[in-house]
């Protein structure tokens, strides 16, 4: 029994660590994704989710040694690893080349002007059908990231257009895939554990257990699984 709880604790620790890594990645690169969305029209949620998926939140070898966050193949001069993936001087260059790749491929280029910069579902579907990745699960995995971290909140949604209208663009079958994925809340000034629990209709004890909290003290910027 003791061994079981040890494994459970390790599993929860790894899960929370992965969540933190993903949230840190979003915080670090969301502005560049929004910038490209404003310039080109590709939803920021799509740009960010693809980079998170392809780079394992910046932790993959090609991300660390080649600054390649989108899994784009090409030449590199790395002495640390042998890879068929393209190397970049900076992560910024990787984001720039991803946007250029969207224009280089006729199937991807056809998406510009066809879908607005908040219709993340059809953008992901179009990129998958355009042959971005060989895996048939790629699109659903990218969509799961968008829903899990609510990246759609970064997209350019017209004023007055409710989130329910955006959600209506996504088929029910696709919504169900990520229905059990937890939300994440960042603590703000004035927040209390009881207040957050009440706001999201969550039991305080469950909230504490889910986040391995021993007391109700919170710090600004702290990330909570809801």
Q: Are 68 and 62 in contact (CB under 8 A)?
A: yes
Specify the DSSP class assigned to residue 57.
Answer: T
Q: Can you tell me the distance from the alpha carbon of 192 to that of 198, in angstroms, rounded to the nearest whole number? A: 10
Listed by start position, the domains of the chain span 2-181, 183-226
Extract the runs of DSSP E, i.e. beta strands, from the chain. 184-186, 223-225
CATH topology of domain 183-226: Membrane-bound Lytic Murein Transglycosylase D; Chain A (3.10.350)
3-state secondary structure 194-223: HHHHHHCCCCHHHHHHHCCCCCCCCCCCCE
Mean of pLDDT over the chain: 82
pLDDT digits (tens, 9 = 90+) for 154-168: 998 776 665 555 655
Q: Which of 53-67, 107-121, 156-170 has the lowest mean pLDDT?
A: 156-170
Give residue 170's pLDDT band: very low, low, confident or very high (50, 70, 90): low
- Tell me how many degrees the CA angle 187-206-151 measures, rounded to the nearest 5: 45
Burial of 13 (0-12, 13-18, 19+ CB in 10 A): exposed
* Tokens representing residue 15 in the block: 């899960």
Specify the DSSP class assigned to residue 170.
Answer: S
B/e letters for 78-102, b = 16+ CB within 10 Å, e = fewer, are eeeeebebbbbeebeebbebbbeeb
* Tokens representing residue 130 in the block: 């355009």
Give residue 207's pLDDT band: very low, low, confident or very high (50, 70, 90): confident
**Torsions phi, psi for 170 (to 5 deg):** -95, 125
* Tokens representing residue 132 in the block: 């971005």
Give the pairing of strands 184-186 and 223-225: antiparallel
H-helix or E-strand containing 70?
Answer: none
Quote the pLDDT of residue 179.
Answer: 40
CATH topology of domain 2-181: Lysozyme (1.10.530)
């Amino acid at each position: 029994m003791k061994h079981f709880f040890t494994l459970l604790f390790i599993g929860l620790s790894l899960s929370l660590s992965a969540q933190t890594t993903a949230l840190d990645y979003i915080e670090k690169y969301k502005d560049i994704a929004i910038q490209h969305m404003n310039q080109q029209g590709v939803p920021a949620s799509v740009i960010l989710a693809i980079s998170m998926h392809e780079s394992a939140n910046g932790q993959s070898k090609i991300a660390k040694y080649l600054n390649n966050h989108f899994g784009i193949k090409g030449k590199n001069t790395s002495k640390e690893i042998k890879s068929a993936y393209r190397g970049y001087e900076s992560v910024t260059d990787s984001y720039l080349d991803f946007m250029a790749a969207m224009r280089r491929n006729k199937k991807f280029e056809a998406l510009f002007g066809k879908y607005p910069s908040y219709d993340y579902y059809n953008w992901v579907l179009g990129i998958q059908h355009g042959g971005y990745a060989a895996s048939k699960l790629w699109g659903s995995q990218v969509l799961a990231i968008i829903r899990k971290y609510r990246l759609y909140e970064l997209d350019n949604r017209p004023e007055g257009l409710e989130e329910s209208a955006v959600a209506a663009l996504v088929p029910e079958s696709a919504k169900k895939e990520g229905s059990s994925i937890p939300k994440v809340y960042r603590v703000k000034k004035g927040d209390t554990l009881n207040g957050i629990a009440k706001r999201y209709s969550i039991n305080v004890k469950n909230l504490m257990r889910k986040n391995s909290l021993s007391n109700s003290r919170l710090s600004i910027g702290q990330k909570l699984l809801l």
